[in-house]
A = this chain, B = another copy of it.
């Protein structure tokens, strides 16, 4: 992904300007716990003129799409590989959930960014974001659920409802930093907490989707 240059990138300087702008945007979003960062802030943080932000990304949406792509774009190849592998459905779902949570831990603004860029539901940006991010996730989950049914380990479950509950649950620990800190006294999300949360989500979702022939009436 880092080799993906902007169309204008003809020398050695421009790709690093582009990366520096994306780095500054990411840092500000993490520090301010918000997706609302301005060109002015990004320019000040990176020391790069605002005109160059427009030159490299065209618009705020262009910059945010590029950030999403850099952060999460490569994970979909790994997800497709996981889905295509000959691992059992239970283990696939477990790995998928741990993978999603690892991404939200690393880029806690990611899901909010998807939301902000999709706010205007009928816009081209919203369609692009859905096609690029939500659809591959939903498709992968549906494939894993189908596999589990074929293997006889999962009951039939609505893949749409499953998708929203999985993504929402995975994301929210990283979204709700203020309540994590002020209600539960947890100021940063350690790797241990990240793993415990992933195990918790796995247990919730797997327990619910597993077929329990012994308890069927």
Interface residues, chain A, CB within 8 Å of chain B?
32-34, 36, 112, 114-116, 118-121, 126-127, 129-131, 134-135, 138, 157-158, 160-162, 164-173, 175-184, 186, 196-197, 200-201, 203-205, 207-208, 212, 214-215
Contacts and interface: CB of A to CB of B under 8 A. Distances in A.
Contacts of A134: 176, 178-179, 182-183
Contact of A172 (B119, B129, B171): B171
Contacts of A173: 161, 164, 168
Say whether chain A's binding surface is mostly helix, strand, loop, or mixed. helix
21 contacts: A32-B120, A33-B121, A34-B116, A36-B36, A115-B175, A115-B176, A118-B177, A118-B179, A121-B177, A130-B178, A130-B183, A131-B182, A134-B176, A138-B183, A160-B186, A165-B201, A165-B204, A166-B169, A168-B170, A169-B172, A214-B214
A39 B207 CA distance: 47
Interface centre among A32, A114, A162, A171 (most CB of B within 10 A): A171
Contacts of A179: 118, 130, 134-135, 138
Contacts of A184: 138, 160
A32 B181 CA distance: 30
Contacts of A175: 115, 168
Contacts of A138: 179, 183-184
A115 B174 CA distance: 11
Nearest to A185: B160
A183 B112 contact: no
A158 B134 CA distance: 29
A197 B163 CA distance: 11
B178 A168 contact: no
